[in-house]
Amino acid sequence: MIEGFRTYNFKAFVDTGRIPLRPITCLVGRNSSGKSSLAQALLLLKQSIQQQAVGSSVPTLLLNGPQVELGTFADLVHRHQVDQNFGMSFDCNVEDLDDQDEEGDSLISLDLPRNQPHPYFGRFRLKRRRPGRTRERHRGSIELEFSPQESFGPALSTLNLLLESERRLTLRRTVGTRREQHWRTYVKGLPAKSVSSMILAARLFPEFWPRYGTRTGRAGPVVRRTCIEANTLIAYLEDFLERSRFVGPFRTPPSRRYMFSGFGASDVGATGQQAIDLLIAESLISKSKRPLLRAVSFWLNKLGLAR
């Protein structure tokens, strides 16, 4: 799971320091103290992995989308210093992974085209939990830095993955004289040039795998496991962002009548605008249990708001 978050040079924050995250995280403070800005940083990443900009040659952030609207790069960078980069980092705590399961399949699911297995790893899928097996926990961190990219908004310029045993993978975008940009992968604690990386179309984050020609022997399994751990960290972050829900401080006023719009609502929405749809959908699906309706009724009564 994602246990901590930090951002720097973002809106009012020079550096937030590490902010712990839990399954439910509440931000409390005075008006205009930056609570919404912290949530906006996460929502910015969330909508960027869901919808990539068309025509951009590098992974860019979607500044204005369904989750949040931030204007321009000058609006979100600290003190409007457009020549400065801004970044985020996440502390991860993931379960121990073996190289293969009992059927010989790899463990982490990557976004590769169907029926086109990766030439090194083979077909990927998520590992099933074995009954009664204890799991060790491994910690790592993901550091993202974004720089201004003309016409396309801020673009990913550096990605650092710090794994256990002090192994580090760094992906850095460089600008050369013959081409606009290209990527280089640097390693620490591994043989030089032992890891390759690739950013697929319409993706924000890269994928890593052992470079062809890496010497076999002691370095081979270590490099392979490092790539699996790196891709696992990225998959954990993407899953965390996909499942994150933000509830803002303002609510949609109640209406006298509600028109049920169907079963498309997946959460209440930042202002509670889809709460009634969820309650109606639950009553249509389950006419007896209705745990959501019972929970809402309990808290309305306990807080003295309604019966």
- Give the per-residue pLDDT at 53: 52
- For 93, residues 6+ apart whose C-beta sits below 8 A from its C-beta are 1, 2, 3, 137, 138, 139
Identify the helix (H) or strand (E) that includes residue 13.
strand 13-15
Q: Tell me the average pLDDT across 181-202.
A: 84
pLDDT confidence of residue 188: 92
The whole-number pLDDT of residue 264 equals 78
76: pLDDT strictly greater than 80: yes
> CA-to-CA distance for 71 and 82, rounded, in angstroms?
13
| Average pLDDT along the chain | 79
Give the model's pLDDT for residue 273.
85
Burial class (CB in 10 A: 0-12, 13-18, 19+), 77: buried
Instruction: Supply 84's token pair.
Output: 């400065």
Radius of gyration from C-alpha coordinates of the chain: 22
State pLDDT tens for residues 208-261.
Answer: 988 865 444 445 888 888 888 899 889 889 988 988 888 777 778 888 898 887
Residue 194 has pLDDT above 70, yes or no: yes
Residue 300 has which token pair?
Answer: 């309305």
pLDDT level of residue 101 (50, 70, 90 thresholds): very low
Predicted confidence band of residue 161 (pLDDT cuts 50, 70, 90): very high
More confident residue, 78 or 270: 78
Point out which residues pair with 53 in neighbouring strands: none
* pLDDT range class, residue 67, cuts 50, 70, 90: confident
Q: Is 82 helix (H, G, I), strand (E, B) or coil?
A: coil
Q: What is the pLDDT at residue 77?
A: 93
pTM for the model: 0.73
Q: Which helix (H) or strand (E) holds 20?
A: strand 19-20
Give pLDDT tens digits for 254-292.
Answer: 888 988 877 877 778 878 888 888 888 888 887 778 888
Domain ranges across the chain: 2-243, 251-307
Pick from 29-43, 122-136, 279-293: least confident: 122-136
